[in-house]
Structure 1
Amino acid sequence: MATEKTFDLLYMHSPITYSIGRHLVENGYLENELLVVCGRNTQWDGPFISVENDGVWSISRTCDYLEKICAVLKGYAAIGLNLYVPHSGFLVGKLFSMAGVVRKVHYIEEGTAAYDPSNVLTPWTSPEIDVGLLTDELERRGILDVLQIDRQRLAGLNAMDSWFFNPRLPGFAGAFCVSDKAFPTLSEVTVLPMSTREIIPANETVWLCLLPCLINFVAEHEKNKPLLDKFLYGLLMMVRMQAALVKNVGGALVIKFHPADDAYFNEGFKNNFYAMGTGYRDFFDMNDFPVGYEPALYNFTKFIVVNDSSALLYVRQFRGEESVVPVKLD
């Protein structure tokens, strides 16, 4: 019988998941060969698999994600996967739950979703998937065999509940977070002691403007164009005002889009905002600072946070209330 080759699969798609992933790797939590998967333009300073995202409910994108993983696993007679993922709430989570190669599932904190007990206690209605088309794609791409997905369970996929965080999984092995508010109803939760990163000299004034997730706002109000136009105009005016205030005290303004917006919005749209300050990645590149960590771990002078978000929670946790400039736009 072939000896099983075990991989620790780490999926990250945001600064907080990157920060936790980096901490797990650097502090010896992951003991097997590392398989890093990065979505939404997240980067890793070693070998990694780049994907658009984990697929959400798209058959093609989910299969793209899994196919790239399977390309690494194909040469082994026996495989075991330990998952370190932000959640298991979408299609890929259902597929991993019926994959014979999955040994353990760990959750890593991803913003406010991890603070909501209903994401553990209550399943949510997932969209109907064309199981025939999905099965054909999984088979055509060799994913079924590599991951050892149970065909009988696959046939009943639409009858399965969706859980963002599911301690009922046979392989559930706990969760990792940076806040003691995360995963309140899960067992085996480890709160990691994250180190801040002092990159900006004490005599320099650099403010960071953290924009809200515009894709979510657009999806929520897509049929109300006047409201969308009003919101975007208000957001631009707010950034322009903050840029003027920072310039008046001899400082610089850095502008950061939400990871989803940064990945999917075109450069022309983003440049409307970058014209009033320096883009986040450009700022790090020009100063040769290590990019990728949760922004609140860096010592920006002030953090302008638009609307309630996990960013606001992280700034308050790591930098204190005095560092926050909260802005409410409705």
Structure 2
Amino acid sequence: MALDADDLRIRVSAEPDPDLPTGWLTASEAVEAPLAEESHVPRLPAEASRPKARFSFSRWIAVGLGGLVSLAMGLAIDALIRDLFTRADWLGWTAVALAALVAAGFLGLALREIIGLMRLGKIDQLRDSITRAAEQDDAKAARSALQGLLTLYGDRPETARGRKALASHLNEVIDGRDLVILAERDLLAPLDLEARRIVMNAAKRVSVVTAVSPRALVDLLVVLFENLRTIRRLSALYGGRPGTLGFLRLARHVLAHLALTGGMAAGEGLASQVLGHGIAARLSARLGEGVVNGLLTSRIGLAAISVCRPAPFVATKGPKLSDFMSELVKTSGGETAGAKKGREKDRADLDRTADDS
């Protein structure tokens, strides 16, 4: 017998039916039973939801175009050198020396990019190793990872004191998590303080420029420039020192971190968080826009700290967006009030000049 799900005579009750035999389930229990058992089902590995790597035809296109461009440039340079040799030998040898100089420059640039990428990869590996050591409280793994951290900052004189303190802790502390906490306190705390200052100053500049600038294009350029400079400075602070390709890779990781943590969803939710609690009634539209843009810059800076830092935050949760809010409101408010006062003074001077004339 087939039943129609839309039949009004059918009722689904959450109460157990005494007429049902023992062990039978009602309709609602049958629906809820799989949900109740979900906690006992083993989770699939993360690779199950990731697309399998396939051969990309775009790589064929990139390799082919790159090869054609290289051949064209090589033939053009060869033809130029041959033509110069036909004119005068010294012109030909000058062209050869200049071509060798260009080749050496490209070689040095390639080596610098490779070293920068390797350095960023080492920082990522250090962060993963230190995170696992702290989570598992593995002292052996923590010592090995922290030795890599000491090597990373071995050429930084400003970290000498912290490196010395951490090196003494490696032979005294037996808990892996405690070793990571000591490394965070002695070695990374001064770097974290400087990173907060870098992000705060960048957010202040963006906030002030956005609040007083009359052009949206100027706002866009300032925000882009400050965010890119902040990412590069934070990477250099924590030991990354990326080249061009490394910086692009780092910026992609920062954007991925923002997307993962929901940092880019800053429309009405962020505006209400920033301008709520009665602050919106006391701020002008331009000032509120400046504060929101400053906080977005702060959010990008916080994501950059998480990506560039070679160790996780264990003893503390790290800097938060709320740490920058009051300072940005105060800075933007003071700058906007000063600009408004200056404009009123200029207007009064013009009126006085007109009256005298």
Q: TM-score range by the shorter chain?
A: under 0.3
Provide the TM-score with structure 2 as the length reference. 0.21
Higher helix share: 2
Provide the TM-score with structure 1 as the length reference. 0.23
Which has the larger Rg?
A: 2
